[in-house]
Amino acid sequence: MTTRIQRRNRRRILDAALDVFSAQGFRGATLDQIAEAGGLSKPNLLYYFDGKEAIHRALLTDLLDTWLDPLRALDPAGDPQTEIMAYMRRKLQMSRDFPRESRLFANEILQGAPRMESFIRTELRPLVDDRAALLRAWATAGRIAPVDPYHLIFSIWALTQHYADFDAQIRMIRGDGHDPLDGADAFLEELYARLIAPAPQKAAAGPRAVTGGA
């Protein structure tokens, strides 16, 4: 057993692997790097996990489960604007708290999501479809502005994860002393408050078509 030490070592390995995989991608990462970052030898690493692929799979499995939580927490019974703002805030907080996880995720999708396809099709897609239907219902009822629900969700993903995924670029542009996320909260609050507020002009014939799009 010795479950105490085993669990500690597994955690150390996974943490080191998250460092390396998120920074180098799956193929770019090597067992040597993970072993060194975790403070153990390569064979010992392979005593705990059944190969490189298994380590990566364990990371993804841990991650994907919690990745859906913010979207799950979107409450159909709540106030539409409050709920959407809260979802955006939770996603931004995840970029702050789990930037490596965001980059691990991004690396996978960028390369065609070969190790995540079944998760996306069987778990993420139904959840997104369900929440998109909810957003559409809110829009139809006039409780939020009539925006496309899928693009609304994608925009929240894009804007929040950008700060984690493109962190290197933002740091080089803003200077090393600057926190990339400084001011992001206020900016996104403003952006989504303006976007989803219903009834923009009172009775002006705005360019807001409600043709039967997607």
Partner DNA sequence: GTCTATACTCTGATAGAC
Partner DNA sequence: GTCTATCAGAGTATAGAC
**Sites of contact with its own copies (CB under 8 A):** 23-28, 103, 106-107, 109-113, 117, 120-121, 124-125, 128-129, 145, 147-148, 150-152, 154-155, 157-159, 161-163, 165-166, 168-170, 172-174, 178, 182-184, 186-187, 190-191, 194-195, 200, 208-209, 213-214
> Interface with DNA includes 82 (CB under 7 A)?
no
Closest approach of DNA to the CB of residue 2, in Å = 3
Residue 5 interacts with which of DNA, its own copies, none, CB < 5 to 8 Å by class: DNA
Backbone angles phi, psi at 108, to 5 degrees: -65, -50
As given in the structure block, the two tokens for residue 139 are 């829009």
Chosen residue from 1, 77, 204, 205 binding DNA by CB under 7 A = 1
Buried b (16+ CB within 10 A) or exposed e, 17-34: bbbbbbeebbeebebebb
> Interface with DNA includes 111 (CB under 7 A)?
no
Q: Residue 211 and residue 69: Cα distance in Å, rounded?
A: 33
Q: Residue 112 and residue 188: Cα distance in Å, rounded?
A: 29
Q: Residue 98 and residue 76: Cα distance in Å, rounded?
A: 27
Chosen residue from 14, 17, 21, 52 binding DNA by CB under 7 A = 52
Closest approach of DNA to the CB of residue 87, in Å = 37
As given in the structure block, the two tokens for residue 133 are 């239907």
> Interface with DNA includes 40 (CB under 7 A)?
yes
Q: Residue 145 and residue 36: Cα distance in Å, rounded?
A: 52
- Residues lying near DNA in the complex (CB under 7 A): 1-3, 5-6, 9, 29-32, 40-44, 46-48, 51-53
